[in-house]
Chains A and B, each alone.
Chain A
Amino acid sequence: MKAPPAHGAPPPSDGAQALAALLARAAGGDAQAFQDFYARTSAKLFGIIVRILPDSGEAEDVLQEVYVTVWRKAAEFDALRASPITWAATIARNRAIDRLRARAVRPAAPVDEAHDVADDAPDAEALMASQQDAALVAGALAGLEPRQAAAIRACYFEGLTYEALAAREGVPVGTLKSWVRRGLIKMREGLEGAA
């Protein structure tokens, strides 16, 4: 497992606040603010969607849906409950998974390929959740058995169901579910201990 990509410059500490301010203006009908929000977040969201839906046409459709949703729901964003980028990324992930579930099962690559961490440094650093958090989570995953960590990443990055991943890995569903769930609990406890 590779470490998360190193970034030359840390994201501005006000990145989340700036995005929240743009969302607030978008909620008031400011299309220019919304375009700025798009410019700063779309590469990250599209990256997430493309991992789940590698067909780029489909991924583009979903990205469009996601931002139209963000525009319409901007007023519902609550900075106390989530960071703006996590909120938007969650919408993207959910829409992509919905699209994936709505169609037939796609051929899946083995975990060994799937858990390769991208080497490309994301280009919209201002929107990154704190790199510290990413390092903590990567550290927590590194403390798990490799297959456990790989299974968590496969579910999360590719939107695979337990059943689909179990079939791909050739293990019983119950076994896989137990790996993943134990791994996530351990990860959460590790993060809570580190916090």
Chain B
Amino acid sequence: MSTPDDMSPDDLLAMDYALGALGRAERKAAEVRLRSDPGFRALVEGWQATLAPLDDEVAAVAPPPAVWAAIAAEITPPPRVAAAPAPAPQQLPARGWWHNLALWRGLAVGGPVAAALAVVAISTPGGEVAPQASVPAAAPAGDRLVATLAGADGKPLLAAAYDPASGAVAFAPVAAPDGEAGKVPELWVIEGKNPPRSLGVIDISRGQTHSIPRERLQGLKAGAVLAISIEPIGGSPTGAPTGPVVATGALTAA
């Protein structure tokens, strides 16, 4: 039988590393080798494979659901509709802003009255709305429309871009959120003096693009106002916004 004396120093180090028996400094040194030395890495992987079946002896322990929620919040799914305008992805924060209801709730210090004032205040988007710049020029069917949705104090929260070709509305954050959980955001469109019409609950688990049934979008054009309110799970029970309107913005041609 072999003894440790028969083994190369590298194989011994690989064994100790795979076993997990090295102290902190030695581990760090071994990890530097791992990244730079394929031969050493192969030795380590050999020992890891040898030891891996031992993992079956470890009792499985179901983690609490909160762990997945935290992971989901941290991994931001990339925009999934290639045809939709992708609003300035380089502006996305590293963490999962989309899943953070605080962003949707935003600066919900005011109710509908304050938000209505905000509509007026932001109906001419300011120069900081970078996402507009990335909207592709070619629009197969109808004009692309963009809006900056601002909170009650007029501070921009979200940029939205509507792509008539795909029926999708893509969002990008303008402001960073704080942190809160609870209800769901619902998207509304307000055309002229008509009451807000629901475009549906925004599914924050589905990525940064929100698809809207085509029939709901008939006649949607520049000048209409998009608004987001915070509603009970499943959406507003009354057909009109019931929760705080956290962001509004007028659609303008891209």
Residues of A within 8 A of B (CB): 4-5, 29, 31, 34-35, 38, 42-44, 46-48, 50-51, 60, 63-64, 67-68, 71-72, 81-83, 85-86, 89-90, 93-94, 97-98, 101-102, 117-120, 122-124, 128-131, 133-134, 136-138, 152-153, 155-157, 159-163, 165, 178, 180-182, 184-189, 191
Q: Which residues of B lie under 8 Å from residue A189 when comparing CB positions?
A: 1-2
Which single member of B16, B58, B68, B70 contacts A44 (CB below 8 Å)? Answer: B58
Contact, CB under 8 Å: B80 / A101 = no
Which applies to chain B's interface (DSSP): helix, strand, loop or mixed? helix
Given contacts A31-B77, A101-B24, contact A82 B45 (CB under 8 A): yes
Does residue B53 face the partner (Cβ distance < 8 Å to A)?
yes
Which of these binds chain A: B59-67, B117-125, B143-151, B191-199? B59-67
B61 touches A47 (CB 8 A): yes
- Option from B20, B57, B58, B60 in Cβ contact (under 8 Å) with A97: B20
- Residues of A within 8 Å of B3, CB to CB, are 182, 185
Question: Most B CB atoms within 10 A — which of A60, A83, A161, A187?
Answer: A161
Give chain B interface residues in 10-25, CB to chain A under 8 Å: 12, 15-16, 19-24
19 pairs across A/B with beta carbons < 8 Å? A29-B80, A34-B75, A38-B68, A38-B71, A42-B62, A47-B60, A48-B55, A60-B63, A72-B75, A82-B48, A97-B20, A117-B57, A123-B62, A129-B55, A134-B54, A138-B53, A153-B57, A160-B20, A182-B4
Q: Which of A50, A165, A181 contacts B12 (CB 8 A)?
A: A181
Given contacts A98-B27, A180-B19, A189-B1, contact A47 B56 (CB under 8 A): no
- Place the interface of chain B in its size category: 35 or more
Residue B223 interfacial (CB < 8 Å)? no
B51 CB within 8 Å of chain A:
yes
Q: Is B50 an interface residue (CB 8 A)?
A: yes
- Smallest beta-carbon distance A157→chain B, Å: 6
A159:B20 contact, CB within 8 angstroms: yes
Could you say which of B23, B51, B67 contacts A101, with CB atoms under 8 Å apart? B23
Asked whether, in the complex, the Cβ of A89 is within 8 Å of the Cβ of B4, the reply is no
A93 to B61, CA, bound (A): 15
Whether B24 and A43, one on each chain, are in contact in the complex, defined by CB atoms closer than 8 angstroms, is no
Least CB separation from A181: chain B residue: B4
Question: Does B78 interact with chain A (Cβ within 8 Å)?
Answer: yes
B67 touches A120 (CB 8 A): no
State whether the Cβ of B207 lies closer than 8 Å to any Cβ in chain A.
Answer: yes
